Chain A
Amino acid sequence: MRTEDLIKALDADARDKAMPMGKAWWLAVGVAAMIAAVVFFATIGPRPDIMPAMHTMRFLSKFVFTAALAASAFTLIRVLSTPGASTARASAWMVVAPLLVAIAVVLELFAVPSAEWGRRLVGTNWYICLTFIPLIGIGPLAILLAALRHGAPTRPVLAGAAAGLLAGGVAATFYAAHCFDDSPLFVATWYTMAIAFLTLLGAIGGRLFVRW
């Protein structure tokens, strides 16, 4: 087939339009959050003392971290799914969540006597954290990978990893409402591990499924 002929076929198909990518991302994130919410409320649900917990800095700080991660990963994945878009600014935003956690960890180390550090880090719930963040995040990750397929990521592995970070951020936001371990030491350790697992899974998914 000559290129000229191909253009005729493409032109004849001009009328058919797919959903614009910007809109598709908002839809995907909405559905992903809904899936995460359903899994969360059907399994572990929020902790019973959530109302008084709302008044403690440590509990609230968890949502600041996870929301910062989700928001920055959302910016990054949108850029990564658009060919030719500059990733510099979106990549820079990815520093925010780790930086906030690092600051909180330092403050916690000053606030708490060193004899307490180990107990706070291990917490009471780490195995639930390692189980449920991936469990809540796996459905959202699948949705986000499907959205990536709708897009055109020229770096599919990196884009898949960003999908894992976003799914992790969403899942951790819900999980944080369940977890009794509010210390930044706990969050920096176990949340990070659980989200890293989703990120790895996302990168593998990007490699295997995001082709175009």
Chain B
Amino acid sequence: MTGKDEAELSRLLRAAIAGDERAYADFLHRIAALVRGFVRRKVVQGGVDPEDVVQETLLAIHVKRHTWRMDAPVLPWVFAIARFKLIDAFRRRGRRIEVEIDEIAETFAEPEPETVSERDINRALDGLPPAQRSVVSSISVDGHSIGETASKLGISETAVRVSLHRGLAAIAKRFGQR
């Protein structure tokens, strides 16, 4: 976290808000790395998967990017959101442990209990209406563009954009409400 980082990231986010998609991708990649470092340092015991917190933070940054004041430094804003999501994850985990006591016995009984790649966001994705889910996973997991997704699903690009936007907003909201 240097002054140079701050200046560069502010510039990227300003460009992104002005409509530069490449700047936005660049911004998100760099923020993801920073937030990952932060969360991994904070999560010392198990229970919370740091990568889940990274993803929830990125989603929150995305849906709340209009709360950044363009003349203010961007890193304090980013880390305030990351801290908020981290506390949220701990609180949630604390609550959930009681619920899962029964399931733990089952998990031990399984020959292959490894579910490391199962992210919270996948479960949230599964909860979306089918139209939104297929659009979001086409663009994220399959890596298709808006145009490719539109022709693959046989809907307009506008419809793809709307489904994507609503889908992401719904996932972000679900993380906030638990």
Contacts and interface: CB of A to CB of B under 8 A. Distances in A.
B81 interface: yes
Interface in A7-34: 7-22, 24
A73 B77 CA distance: 21
B67 A7 contact: no
Interface in A50-107: 81-85
Contacts of B76: 83-85
Interface in B16-67: 16-17, 19, 21, 24-25, 28-29, 32, 36, 51, 54-55, 58-60, 62-67
Contact of A17 (B17, B28, B73, B146): B17
B119 interface: yes
A19 B66 contact: yes
A152 B67 contact: yes
A212 interface: yes
B28 A154 contact: no
Contacts of A9: 136, 139-140, 164, 168
Nearest to A12: B139
Interface residues of B, number: 54
Grouping DSSP codes into helix (H, G, I), strand (E, B) and loop, the B interface class, with mixed when no group exceeds half, is: helix
B177 interface: yes
B121 interface: yes
B60 A212 contact: yes
Contact of B64 (A6, A13, A19, A152): A152
A131 interface: no
B16 A154 contact: no
Contact of B28 (A10, A19, A83): A10
B77 A82 contact: yes
Interface of B: 16-17, 19, 21, 24-25, 28-29, 32, 36, 51, 54-55, 58-60, 62-69, 72-73, 76-81, 83-84, 119, 121-122, 125, 136-137, 139-141, 143, 145-146, 161, 164-165, 168, 172-173, 176-177
